[in-house]
Chain A
């Protein structure tokens, strides 16, 4: 059984143990990269660059982490800030809903096609809505955790969930019957 995050963080801080940090990265890379891929609109290369920058910042700033057990939300918060910083450097124009119109027609490919359409529909959401839905579904983060990561009140998280899902529902509406049957 691998040691808990808090133990690994202490090893890094006290001993400068790179193997302990590697274990932390291996443990949380999927979450961080998934979040950043969603934020970077599935640009995997850009997302991985941002994820690497996230873990480098975590390495340099680990002494600021008071509770080693809270490494997961802490590193997600860094990822969010790294993404926001990258937006300042690279101005992005969000896609219009019309750009998606031809991609939401359900095809015979089933789940794979639905997954692809979902990722494309995510582009219609604001970065905060994308982040909230990514953390809330699959990663099982609580609303309080998400509020801490995005540095916003809990009611704002709830609003992002509702708005984000409403946009997805509109964009993927053609899939509703197929999924429910």
Chain B
């Protein structure tokens, strides 16, 4: 932006001397409030979306039938630990949670 033939350019450049700190930085640092933790709205949104997506996918997929079977079995007091509805539901939720946590960890 400087024109070598312009005396005003020389004057403007020459008068821009650095300002010594003189304790300014110390005053600023002493006045700093505690830093609030980062509040990134993407994290809870992503986690909730992952959980919801997992649940919806599970219910809409053929696996949802196991949930209905499980509810029926519970109602009939006939559910046992190896009923296919239990591990399928657990796997779907676990996959959504693990995926979300992994993504958040890489985002830092």
Binding site for B on A (CB under 8 A): 12-14, 16, 18, 21-22, 25-26, 29-30, 33-34, 37, 48, 51-52, 55-56, 59-60, 63, 111, 114-115, 118-119, 133-134, 136-139, 143, 161, 165, 168-169, 172, 175-176, 179-180
- Chain A residues whose CB sits within 8 angstroms of the CB of B19 once the complex forms: 29-30, 33-34, 37
**B interface secondary structure, majority:** loop
Q: Do B16 and A137 touch (CB < 8 A)?
A: yes
Q: Do B32 and A59 touch (CB < 8 A)?
A: yes
Contacting residue for A179 out of B1, B2, B10, B32, CB 8 A:
B10
Q: Do A138 and B29 touch (CB < 8 A)?
A: no
Contacting residue for A134 out of B16, B20, B25, CB 8 A:
B16
Asked if B35 lies at the interface with its beta carbon under 8 angstroms from chain A, I say: yes
Contacting residue for B28 out of A52, A115, A119, A134, CB 8 A:
A52
Extra pairs beyond A12-B35, A14-B108, A137-B1 (8, CB < 8 Å):
A56-B28, A114-B11, A118-B12, A138-B12, A138-B13, A165-B8, A168-B8, A172-B8
Q: Do B25 and A137 touch (CB < 8 A)?
A: no
Q: Do A56 and B32 touch (CB < 8 A)?
A: yes
Provided the pairs A34-B19, A137-B2 are in contact, do residues A22 and B11 lie with their beta carbons within 8 angstroms?
no
- Chain A residues whose CB sits within 8 angstroms of the CB of B27 once the complex forms: 52
Contacting residue for B16 out of A60, A138, A168, CB 8 A:
A138
21 contacts between A and B (CB under 8 A): A18-B29, A21-B32, A22-B29, A26-B25, A30-B18, A48-B24, A56-B28, A59-B33, A63-B39, A111-B14, A115-B14, A118-B11, A118-B12, A119-B15, A137-B1, A137-B9, A137-B12, A138-B15, A165-B8, A168-B8, A180-B7
Report the bound CA distance from A51 to B23 in whole Å. Answer: 13
- Chain B residues whose CB sits within 8 angstroms of the CB of A168 once the complex forms: 8, 12
In whole Å, how far is B55's beta carbon from the nearest beta carbon of chain A? 32
Binding site for A on B (CB under 8 A): 1-2, 7-21, 24-29, 31-33, 35-36, 38-40, 108
Report the bound CA distance from A23 to B15 in whole Å. Answer: 25
Contacting residue for A22 out of B10, B15, B25, B33, CB 8 A:
B25
Q: Do B18 and A137 touch (CB < 8 A)?
A: no
- Chain B residues whose CB sits within 8 angstroms of the CB of A114 once the complex forms: 11, 15
Provided the pairs A63-B38, A172-B8 are in contact, do residues A25 and B13 lie with their beta carbons within 8 angstroms?
no
> Of residues A30, A51, A137, which shows the largest number of chain B Cβ atoms within 10 Å of its Cβ?
A137
Which chain A residue lies CB-closest to B20?
A: A30
